[in-house]
A and B are shown apart, each in its own frame.
Chain A
Amino acid sequence: MTTPNDFARELVASLPKLRRFALSLTGRSADAEDLVQSACERALKAKDRYEPGTSMDAWMFRIIRNLWIDGIRKRASQGRQQEIDSAFDVAGEDGRQVTEARLTMMKVEQAMAELSSDQQQLLSLICVSEASYQEASEQLGIPIGTVMSRLARARANLSKLLAAPPSGRKNMEMERPA
C-alpha cells in the first residue's frame, strides 16, 4: 500500500529525470518546467491509478509526453486551417502512432533483449553510458552515419516492442529501477 507521502517522495525523486525528459521534448527549460509542473499536478490528482511496483518514471514520461503532444495539437488546430479529414478514417493511422501502448506492462530490459546485439551495444553506449556519437563511432569502429542509422532503427524497434500487444507478455510488469 502506497501512502500519499510514499507517492510524493517517489515523484520528487523522479523530478530530475522528468525535467530532463521534458527538456529533450521542448528544447526550452522554461517550457520544460511548465510541462513537468503540469504533469505532476495531473499525477497527484490521479495518484490512485498509479500501481505501486511499476515504474514511476515510465508512468510520468507518458503523462508528460501526452501533455506535450496535446499542446502541439491545440496550437496546430488553432493556428491554421487544417486539412479536412474524413470523419471516419479512424483506421488511417500510419503505424507510428501505434507506438503508444502499455509501457508499464513491459520490461524495458526484456524488450532490449529482443534487439540484435549490435543494436543493444549501441543503445547501451549512447543511452545508458551517454557516449557521444563520435565516441561511439570510435569505440565501435563504424562511421558516424552508421551510428545514426543504426540508432534510429534500434530505437524504432524498441518503441515497437514496447508498444506491442501484451500477448504472451501479460506478466511482464515493468519493475521500478533500482
Chain B
Amino acid sequence: MSTPDINDEMLVALADGEMGEVEAGKLRAQIEADPELAQRYADFVETRALLSASFGSAADEQIVPSGTDPIAAMILASANAQEPIRSRPQLKLAASNESVPASGTQKTAPRHLSGRTWWQLPAAAAIAFVCGLAGANLLPSTETDRVIAGIDDPAFNIGIAELLAKLPSGKTVELAAGQQQTRLTMIATHRVENGETCREYRLERTGASRHSEIRVSCRHGETWTTTLVAAEPAQDGGFATASAAAETAEQFLATLGSAGPLSDDDEKTALGLK
C-alpha cells in the first residue's frame, strides 16, 4: 500500500520531534498501519541516530545505565550465566480443540534443532503446536504436507514452496486448494545460527471451516521443511489481533539463533534473488 499524500518533509519533521502533538499522533497512526510508510519513516530516524552516534552527540553519552536498569540487568546476567536469557515456561504439547491433525512424528525434534531448547516457548493458551514435522517437506511434490490446515493437495504445497522461494515479506497471495480458499501472508525471513534461511508466514483458510496458523519453514538445499506450526484460535468477529502464535514463532526463531527479521535487501540476498 502506498501513502502518496505523506511527503518526506512530514516524516523528517516527525523523526526530529518538530511536529505538533495532534498532527504527530495522526501521522504515527498512519505509519503503524502501513509497512512501506514505516520503512520510509525508519530511514529518517535511522539516519539521525547514525549521525548522532558517529559524530558523538553529547546527550546520550552522559547517561550510564545502572544495575537497576532492567534491560541492562538482563544483558549482564545473561553474559554471566551463558544460559537462556530468561526462564520460560515449558510448553505443553497437548493439543487443544484447535489442534491441527498431526503426522505422528511431532515429538521428534528436527535434526538441526537437536540439543537446543526448542521447546522452551511460552505456553500460550489455546495454541496447538506441531513441532518437528519430519514428513512436512514442501518439496518435492511427492511429499504431501498433510498437516497444513487439513489441506491435502500436493499442488497446494508446491505453490507454498514457490512462494517461500520468491514472495517478499509483507505480501499476501491467495491460493486455491480444491474447494478451499487459502491466503498466505509472508511475514519475515530469518537467518538462523546454522546458516539456514527460515521464513515465517501466516496461512488463513477462509470460508466455513475457517482456520489460521503461523508457520516457520526452513530451507535445506532446495527443499523447504516446516519446523513449526502454531494455530491461531478463531475468536468472535475474527482472529485474535495480538497473536500469541506469532510471538511463539518469534521466540522459536530466536532460539534457533535468529537476530531478528532480515531487511528487505538482505532477504533478497538470502533467497538468491539478487
A interface, CB within 8 angstroms of B: 4-5, 7-8, 11-13, 15-17, 20-21, 24-25, 27, 33, 36-37, 39-46, 48-49, 55, 57-58, 61-63, 65-70, 72-79, 82-90, 93-94, 96-101, 103, 107-109, 112, 123-124, 126-130, 132-133, 148-149, 151-153, 155-156, 158-159, 162-163, 177-178
Q: 8 closest pairs, A vs B, by CB?
A: A8-B79, A46-B259, A100-B263, A100-B265, A152-B8, A127-B51, A77-B185, A108-B54
The CA of A76 and the CA of B31, in the complex, are separated in Å by 11
The binding surface of chain B is classed by DSSP as helix
Q: Is the CB of A65 within 8 A of B42?
A: yes
B52 within 8 Å of A (CB atoms):
yes
Q: Is the CB of A76 within 8 A of B33?
A: yes
Partner of A24, one of B49, B173, B261: B49
The CA of A112 and the CA of B7, in the complex, are separated in Å by 23
Q: A5-B79, A42-B260, A90-B166 are in contact. Are A24 and B54 (CB under 8 A)?
A: no
Q: Is the CB of A128 within 8 A of B55?
A: yes
> Looking across the interface, which residue of chain A has its beta carbon closest to that of B268?
A90
Q: Is the CB of A133 within 8 A of B16?
A: yes
B12 within 8 Å of A (CB atoms):
yes
Partner of A159, one of B47, B59, B69: B47
Chain B interface residue count, CB cutoff 8 Å, equals 93
Q: Is the CB of B258 within 8 A of A46?
A: yes
Q: Is the CB of B50 within 8 A of A20?
A: no
Q: Is the CB of A90 within 8 A of B168?
A: yes
Chain B residue contacts of A57, Cβ below 8 A: 49-50, 53
Q: Is the CB of B15 within 8 A of A72?
A: no
B155 within 8 Å of A (CB atoms):
no
Besides A33-B71, A76-B170, 8 other A-B contacts (C-beta < 8 A):
A20-B60, A25-B45, A62-B263, A70-B187, A85-B172, A100-B266, A128-B56, A152-B7
B interface, CB within 8 angstroms of A: 1-2, 7-9, 11-13, 15-18, 24-25, 28, 31-36, 38-57, 59-60, 63-65, 69-72, 74-76, 78-80, 82, 85-86, 162-163, 166-174, 185, 187-188, 193, 202, 239, 241, 243, 246, 254-255, 257-266, 268, 273
Q: Is the CB of A97 within 8 A of B38?
A: no
Q: Is the CB of B12 within 8 A of A163?
A: no
Q: 13 interchain pairs (CB within 8 A)?
A: A4-B82, A27-B24, A41-B85, A42-B259, A46-B259, A74-B246, A76-B170, A77-B187, A86-B173, A90-B273, A100-B266, A112-B54, A151-B9
